[in-house]
Amino acid sequence: MTLLLGAIADDFTGATDLANNLVRGGMRCLQVIGVPQEAVDLRDIDAVVVALKSRSCPVQDAVADSLAALEWLRAQGARQLFFKYCSTFDSTDEGNIGPVADVLLEALGASQTVMVPAFPVNGRTVYQGHLFVGDRLLNDSGMQHHPLNPMQDADLVRVLSRQTPHAVGLASRQVLANGAEATGAHLSSLAEQGIRHVICDTLDEQDLDVLAEATVLLPLITGGSGLGQALPAQYRAQGWLATIAEPGRLASAAGGALVLSGSCSRATLAQVADFLAKHPDGGFALDPLSLSEGDKQWEQALAFALQRLSLQAPTLIYASADPDNVKAAQAALGVAQAGHLVETALSQLAVTLVNEGVGRLLVAGGETSGAVVSALGITTLRIGEQIDPGVPWTQTPWPGREAPLSLALKSGNFGGVDFFTRAFEVLA
């Protein structure tokens, strides 16, 4: 069995998003959290995505972590490498996309890679090297105000040129329109001119197919999760990947069902309200001010959850609150401390309740999911069926139990309004 794809993702939910698309394209996929320190069982796995936290950290850390991930993936025999970043090309003039791509190319002894951030079904397209979010240029899409990576220039050739000493070229839509062979020839002629990075136009799924085909033999490709969905078909065309009937098939789920929500995003607030409308006695609200006063509220939440779970009744513990309440808590405690109190409370509930028999756990919130996964000591996630775009069920082995722990990790604005109830119907 050969590992076909080894991906290095610059954040956790981005890693899951890519893994989800690879499964949808027909690959059996494992997500690992950080570079594994112990042997990982890769039998029956076609693709591995290593989730790093390298999007906004200092360049030297991003470079070191990405190189360590590359080394591990090569040791597993990965045939092609994929550096995954956000479809809005989140980065600054210092990096980290350019410097990471440079060191990966160098380590692989490769002379060129492509940059394919587009995700057309989500409205991220690239034309003449300019990134659009819906009908707006990137620098007019709201991303110009991003707190960590403000994107004030939509011209990706220019953006990337500020991050690397190497020449940056373009594969335009006009080239792609002539097909994969012509696109491959264009890339080769740019490589002969010493152009190491090529920003690729992408207007639709067909363009992604052309790019995946044109680059299938490159040691390193880079881009967003959209490109991931186009890769498996090319691996099948090469005869490397068999047609797999249910690449997202997971083991039967078992154990109590629990929802923990630390997200205050608009979509999550609607999901909390929808759950409470269906199960008026099913929710327990945590708030940072009470949590700051001692253990009482946490213990009440635990008792509530244990009682509900003993009845096998749907259970939600949430800190999700509207902007005014969040602001009030942040004003009283500080932003970091309010967040820390909530993340600690929810992750400690997760640990205690999984040990008490919860086997199906849904977590809402990107940071919250990170805190829960880390408190549970989870290092690998097998990717299952998608619940809603970008959010699959996943499973991880749980010591002392026959059935694995099933987890769905939802970042803020993902998922339909009935996500907290429907997710459990999707899971067999």
Binding mask 399-418 for ligand ADP (x = CB under 6 A): ------------xx------
Q: Is 265 one of the binding residues for ligand ADP (CB under 6 A)?
A: yes
Q: Considering only residues 90-149, where is the footprint of ligand ADP by CB under 6 A?
A: none
| Identified binder of ligand ADP from the candidate list 156, 258, 338, 381, rule CB under 6 A | 338
Which residue type sits at 278? Answer: K
Closer CB to ligand ADP, residue 222 or residue 263? 263
In 108-255, the DSSP E strands lie at: 113-116, 124-127, 130-133, 136-137, 167-171, 195-200, 220-223
The stretch among 22-30, 226-234, 241-249, 325-333 that binds ligand ADP (CB under 6 A) is: 325-333
Alpha-carbon span 130 to 153, nearest angstrom: 9
Q: Is 321 one of the binding residues for ligand ADP (CB under 6 A)?
A: yes
Q: Is 361 one of the binding residues for ligand ADP (CB under 6 A)?
A: no
- Minimal distance, residue 220 CB to ligand ADP, in Å: 30
Q: If we measure between CA atoms, which residue out of 161, 15, 8, 146 comes closest to residue 73?
A: 8
For 21, half-sphere exposure in the C-beta direction (CA atoms, 13 angstrom radius) is: 25
Angle formed at CA 337 by CA 336 and CA 339, multiple of 5 degrees: 65
The stretch among 50-58, 117-125, 129-137, 257-265 that binds ligand ADP (CB under 6 A) is: 257-265
The stretch among 15-23, 25-33, 206-214, 336-344 that binds ligand ADP (CB under 6 A) is: 336-344
Instruction: Please report, to the nearest 10 degrees, the dihedral formed by the alpha carbons of residues 20, 21, 27, 28 taken in order.
Output: -10
User: CA–CA distance from 374 to each of 348, 379, 405, 420 (Å)?
Assistant: 11, 8, 14, 22
| Identified binder of ligand ADP from the candidate list 140, 274, 367, 418, rule CB under 6 A | 367
Cis peptide before 139, with omega less than 30 degrees from 0?
Answer: no
The stretch among 19-27, 133-141, 166-174, 316-324 that binds ligand ADP (CB under 6 A) is: 316-324
Q: Is 319 one of the binding residues for ligand ADP (CB under 6 A)?
A: yes
Closer CB to ligand ADP, residue 46 or residue 287? 287
DSSP states of 27-63:
--EEEEESS-SS----TT-SEEEEE---SSS-HHHHH
| Identified binder of ligand ADP from the candidate list 125, 315, 368, 395, rule CB under 6 A | 368
| Identified binder of ligand ADP from the candidate list 149, 330, 337, 379, rule CB under 6 A | 330
Which residue type sits at 186? Answer: H
Q: Is 288 one of the binding residues for ligand ADP (CB under 6 A)?
A: yes
- Minimal distance, residue 146 CB to ligand ADP, in Å: 13
Q: Is 69 one of the binding residues for ligand ADP (CB under 6 A)?
A: no
Q: Is 269 one of the binding residues for ligand ADP (CB under 6 A)?
A: no
Give Dmax over CA atoms of the chain in angstroms: 68
Which residue type sits at 235? Answer: Y
| Identified binder of ligand ADP from the candidate list 366, 390, 404, 415, rule CB under 6 A | 366
For 110, half-sphere exposure in the C-beta direction (CA atoms, 13 angstrom radius) is: 21
| Locus of tokens 């950290």 | 57
Count the residues of the shown chain that bind ligand ADP, applying the rule CB under 6 A.
Answer: 24
Closer CB to ligand ADP, residue 15 or residue 338? 338
Q: Is 200 one of the binding residues for ligand ADP (CB under 6 A)?
A: no
Q: Do 353 and 255 touch, CB atoms closer than 8 A?
A: no
Alpha-carbon span 39 to 208, nearest angstrom: 34
- Minimal distance, residue 328 CB to ligand ADP, in Å: 8
Contacts with ligand ADP, residue ranges (CB under 6 A):
262-265, 268, 287-288, 319-321, 325-326, 329-330, 338-339, 342-343, 365-368, 411-412
